[in-house]
Chain A
Amino acid sequence: EPEVTQTPSHQVTQMGQEVILRCVPISNHLYFYWYRQILGQKVEFLVSFYNNEISEKSEIFDDQFSVERPDGSNFTLKIRSTKLEDSAMYFCASSEDSGVGVEAFFGQGTRLTVV
């Protein structure tokens, strides 16, 4: 069964360092998303991406964040200068369409720890 895969599963980084979280969406999907969950809090929407551009982003997704689809298969989230409060589980998701009720398929997540 097709699935969304994320690497790495765990990432520890020092404050101020850049990190890139990687995702391989399902191959025929056109819409891509990043969500995050700070420990003990809700899963929060970060950004959606379609046709090589950002469709929507939340207020969390500030200038420190960027997304890219560099080669037609990977979908990456970059945090330029990490802060302690960026520590969270980051989930990538993809969907075939964007209609109401369309299912988004999620990866297993990358746990980012900023020290």
Chain B
Amino acid sequence: GDSVTQMEGPVTLSEEACLTINCTYTATGYPSLFWYVQYPGEGLQLLLKATKADDKGSNKGFEATYRKETTSFHLEKGSVQVSDSAVYFCALSDNDYKLSFGAGTTVTVRA
């Protein structure tokens, strides 16, 4: 079945540091890939997505590229801020209805 494996946390960084969260997937079909973010006390929010190979999703300075050859969708940001402290979830959708999530990575950015 479909599954997502993402880098375990927690991750603690200083402001302006680079962030990379690794995500790899297994899917039977040709999935769409997503990164969701959960800020403290809030629900899951879509951060970015990509629906086909070599697509790059980007938002709020974050980027991720759909790599079919390595079945990966790593999340990157060049310079993090305190406000980026959150839990980040990699997810895929291989059909119309459901998302398969990774375990989530907690990121804490210190001033």
Distance of A101 Cα from B42 Cα, bound (Å): 22
Interface bin, chain B: 20 to 34
State whether A43 and B97 are in contact (beta carbons under 8 Å apart), knowing that A101-B49, A101-B51, A103-B46 are contacts in the complex: no
Q: Interface stretch among A62-70, A74-82, A106-114?
A: A106-114
Q: Which residues of A contact B99 (CB under 8 A)?
A: 35, 43, 45, 104
Closest to A49 in B: B97
Q: Which residues of A contact B43 (CB under 8 A)?
A: 3-4, 6, 91, 106-109
Q: Cβ of A45 and Cβ of B49 under 8 Å apart? A: no
Q: Which of B36, B43, B103 has the most CB of A within 10 A?
A: B43
Q: Cβ of A48 and Cβ of B98 under 8 Å apart? A: yes
Determine whether B81 belongs to the interface, using a CB cutoff of 8 Å to chain A.
Answer: no
Residues of chain B touching chain A, judged by Cβ–Cβ distance below 8 Å, are 4, 32, 36, 41-46, 49, 51, 89, 91, 93, 96-104
List 13 other contacts, CB 8 Å, given A42-B101, A42-B103.
A33-B98, A42-B104, A45-B100, A48-B98, A93-B44, A99-B96, A104-B46, A104-B99, A105-B46, A106-B36, A106-B43, A106-B44, A108-B42
Residues of chain A touching chain B, judged by Cβ–Cβ distance below 8 Å, are 3-4, 6, 31, 33, 35, 37, 41-45, 48, 55-56, 58, 91, 93, 98-101, 103-109
